[in-house]
Chains A and B, each alone.
Chain A
Amino acid sequence: MDCEKFESAMMDELYGELDELTSAAAKRHVASCARCAALLGGLRATRRVAAMPMVDPPADLEERILAAVRDAQKVVPMRRRAARVVSAAGNWAMRPQTAMAALFLVMIGTSVLLIRGKPSRAPSAEVTVTEQGAPAPVAATPPAEATATPMASTVLLARAPESKAASPSASQADLPADELRAAPAKGGPTPSKDKEDQQGQANASTPGGIANNLPPAPPAAGGGAAFGSQGFGPQAPPAQAADGTTLGATKQQAIGPFDTALQQYRKGQFDDATRAFDALAPSDANAELWAARSVREGKGCRNALARFDKVARRAANSAPGWDALLEGALCYRAIGDFGQARVRLTQLLKIDSHKDRAQAELDRINQLQQAQGQTTPPAAAARPSPKRAAAPAATAAPNAATDQAY
């Protein structure tokens, strides 16, 4: 160890903080170096002289310290109190239940924001209500169409009669309703009917005119009397009213007096319907036919016979007249006047559109007369029709209830 190193270690040597090895080296250096020995000796002597005696603390200092500590522990500083509150709140907030609740709140809030952020749906006015008061059968349409744009969904309403025909309300329809449903089927659309269809689609469609690009509504299955199929102008409204959705689409524009009367008829308000149809009867043979039907439904066949005969005379050689003949015959059969019934049905055997039905009714009258022991069926009625065997059961089946009634 040299003098420089000794001086750096001198204070440690003076206070005994050197390890044994270094201390021994320092001692050897001091033994051989007078200067360093004098330096160290002088500091040691100063320490010895400057040694400061220890003063005993007051006897009661300990007691006072402990008392002060007890007092301090009673009073919790505001800062420490706040720290305790924060710590307790932190522990509470970090519980799993609190974390889950916060997560749920975030999820619900996000969902609400996303839902409210979406554009509003199509106006409810375009989802029209049918004349029966039931919602339009949008669900019955194909899914791809059901999820189309609002304009397309409006058009779908005009195409709904196929599914509507299978609805429970349609199955409950009476004879006129059945005939009305079958009306556009057999004869195909007339020019006026085409016009009505196009108008209906145009009414139901949006200004974009998408409906004009779609095919017309397909005809309903099954045969029967062809109301409105012979170009009879006023027959179109009831034929259109038969498919409720088309009527619903039309109702968006305006409901005419004929439609109003027809609605009363369908609601069973036959007296009101009779008055309404009668009001239209002077200019509309079809309305007069419906007035006769309303009387039949409201007051019975016996009161309606004269009306049916009147229509048959007025609209002879036209669809309303043939229908009046048929329904008058059914009324005569219902009251037991088979002779009058045969006369009218025999007239209808010449009409292509009504001859199958007339023949079927004549056969039924024959059966009823045979069952009652009566004879003398007319030769014309006894002659079997070549088409009768091929008549579809589906044609007779919907009218079974009507046959029992009349």
Chain B
Amino acid sequence: MIRFQSGDRSAFTLLVRRHQGPLFNFAFRHLRSQPGAEEVVQDAFVRVVQNAADFKHEARFSTWLYTITRNLCIDQIRKRALRKHPSLDEPRRADEGEGPTLGEQTADSKANVERSAVAGEIREKVQAAVDELPEDQREVFLMREVANLPFKEIAEIVGVPENTVKSRMRYALERLQAALSEFEEYARALR
């Protein structure tokens, strides 16, 4: 980011390549919509460029980037609330007709058939359980599990104390644990 602020345009390409994957996954899980996630990621990087002069390196670049992305996701969720609420079974775009669902996109095609069947079932359950999480727990869970952000950074992004983030994370895990209790033995078998 320092190089980009100094005028090195190629540094921005590196930033995009480094962060677009986790950022896209976070937005994708958060919005449960790939087009929405693409739009949010694209807008997030545009805002980074537009406000690059305002970034004072008082926080990590990833913290700033995820803060922008989270705000964009919240905006899009609010906009979507005014329209029709999408579901996991909904195609990516209405005008695209048939397309892969979120469950289909997250399926692991490399596993064998039996295991793939169990894994598919687990993932659907997981996704459903995650969707059932309260919003404050869900975003902490996604940041921790998907974006792999440390608790301290999540606290800065969300704007709450670190212990609050840890509490939310524990509640989220306990809820998921209850929802996925039938797969706990399976999970232990995976060790």
Contacts and interface: CB of A to CB of B under 8 A. Distances in A.
B21 A65 contact: no
Given A46-B177, A66-B16, A72-B49, A61 B38 contact: yes
A68 B187 contact: no
A69 B46 contact: yes
- Residue among A48, A66, A69 facing the most chain B CB atoms (10 A cut-off): A69
A66 B105 CA distance: 25
A48 B151 contact: no
A4 interface: no
Nearest to B152: A17
Given A53-B106, A62-B16, A72 B187 contact: no
B184 A46 contact: yes
Interface residues of A, number: 32
Given A11-B151, A68-B42, A61 B24 contact: yes
B60 interface: no
A88 to B, nearest CB: 15
- Residue among B17, B42, B108 facing the most chain A CB atoms (10 A cut-off): B42
A42 B45 CA distance: 38
- Residue among A56, A66, A73 facing the most chain B CB atoms (10 A cut-off): A66
Interface residues of B, number: 49
A50 B176 contact: yes
Contacts of A55: 24-25, 28, 34, 105-106
Interface string B121-141: 011001101100000000000
Given A49-B184, A73-B49, A58 B38 contact: yes
Contact of B184 (A10, A42, A73): A42
Nearest to B122: A49
Contacts of B169: 11
Contacts of A72: 46, 49-50
B72 to A, nearest CB: 13
B170 interface: yes
A247 B191 CA distance: 131
A329 to B, nearest CB: 110
B150 interface: yes
A232 B190 CA distance: 150
A184 B25 CA distance: 122
Contacts of A10: 170
- Residue among A17, A43, A46, A61 facing the most chain B CB atoms (10 A cut-off): A46
Interface in A71-114: 72-73, 77, 80
Interface string B53-93: 00000000000000000000000000000000000000000
Contacts of A69: 12, 45-46, 49
Contacts of B184: 42, 45-46, 49
Interface of B is mostly: helix
A52 interface: yes
Given A52-B106, A57-B24, A65 B150 contact: no
Contact of B190 (A12, A48, A52, A54): A48
Contacts of A34: none
B13 A66 contact: yes
A120 B145 CA distance: 88
A47 B177 CA distance: 8
A49 B183 contact: yes
Contact of B25 (A11, A48, A54): A54
A71 B170 CA distance: 43
B15 to A, nearest CB: 10
Contact of A52 (B29, B42, B173, B191): B29
Contacts of B146: 52, 54
Contact of B21 (A46, A57, A66, A68): A57
A64 interface: yes
Given A11-B170, A17-B151, A55-B105, A50 B130 contact: yes
- Residue among B126, B176, B187 facing the most chain A CB atoms (10 A cut-off): B187
A31 interface: no
Interface string B105-116: 110100000000
Nearest to B141: A50
Interface in A1-53: 10-12, 15, 17, 42-43, 45-53
B20 interface: yes
A108 B16 CA distance: 60
A68 B41 CA distance: 11
A66 B12 CA distance: 9
A122 B186 CA distance: 113
B41 A61 contact: yes
A10 B170 CA distance: 9
Contacts of A56: 21
B3 interface: no
A46 B29 contact: no
B180 interface: yes
Interchain residue pairs A-B with the least CB separation, the first 9: A57-B24, A46-B177, A49-B187, A11-B166, A45-B187, A48-B187, A72-B46, A65-B45, A69-B49
Interface of A: 10-12, 15, 17, 42-43, 45-58, 61-62, 64-66, 68-69, 72-73, 77, 80
18 contacts: A12-B151, A15-B151, A43-B173, A43-B177, A47-B145, A48-B187, A49-B184, A52-B25, A52-B127, A55-B106, A57-B25, A62-B16, A65-B41, A65-B45, A66-B13, A68-B46, A69-B46, A80-B50
Given A15-B144, A43-B170, A49-B187, 7 more contacts: A15-B151, A45-B184, A52-B126, A58-B38, A64-B38, A64-B42, A65-B45
